[in-house]
Structure 1
Amino acid sequence: MTARGRPFEKLPAGARKHLESMAASGLLSESAAATALGMPLDQFRRVVQEHAPSKLIWETALSIERDQLLDALYCRAVDGDTRAAQTLLAVRHGLSEKAPQGSGGGVSVVFNLPSAMDPQAYLEAIQVKQEALPNASSD
């Protein structure tokens, strides 16, 4: 049983180089990173969440891993793997077979009707008052 010392406040020295190397070789995960850096997993998670410079180191390592995976997916797509091509189109360009392309489809028309009137108000509204026309023969 190992004794626990003070909790980590930041990633240990050399963490950037170590995590970037793990990302480049495809071995990056939270648990593997914590073990490689000699940190308990819960402390590793807390440090990369709360300590801004440590968070930046972790996000940079994740970016390296993401870029390598996208590159591998791109190579497969160019070599004719249609599933890889579909995935890249969906991830990088927001295109999917399931969603319609374009601005969302056809025309939409909305009719806004006034609220119902009580019968007396309706009768008053439709009554037309006749104006007396000047008599044309009086000229």
Structure 2
Amino acid sequence: MAQRNTWQRERVRDALADEPGFVSAQALYATLRAANTGIGLATVYRALAGLAASGEADSLQSPEGEALYRACSSGHHHHLICRNCGLAVEIAASEVEQWARKTAASHGFHEAEHVVDIFGLCENCAREKAQQSAQ
């Protein structure tokens, strides 16, 4: 069942597009609340779930188990994600695809599907961490 395009869903979509990386529903709600939109937390969760279901947003689970969302391009791709600031970079899927097919085949799997997201520290966060360690 398709979700209605309401002004609230549009505001959530716009706020998500303004984020540089993956963001939790709670964090996006805080942004919308600070902008005095009047959009409730339950509406943010519903809108994000709808955007993810329609392919307008990517959804993944953080290493801590929290659902994170990001406005995304279409087509199959993967991400490098900063564990500290949430910055996300889309990466080409070609090498990952070859590895996934080869690994699945070597274990006798057919029609394998995969989700690959790589978590680490972006250049800025790694530099800040190194500076803090040096102090």
Q: What TM-score bracket applies, with the shorter chain setting the length? A: 0.3 to 0.5
Structure whose residues are more often helix by fraction: 1
TM-score, normalised by the number of residues in structure 1: 0.33
Larger RCO (CA under 8 A, 6+ residues apart): 2
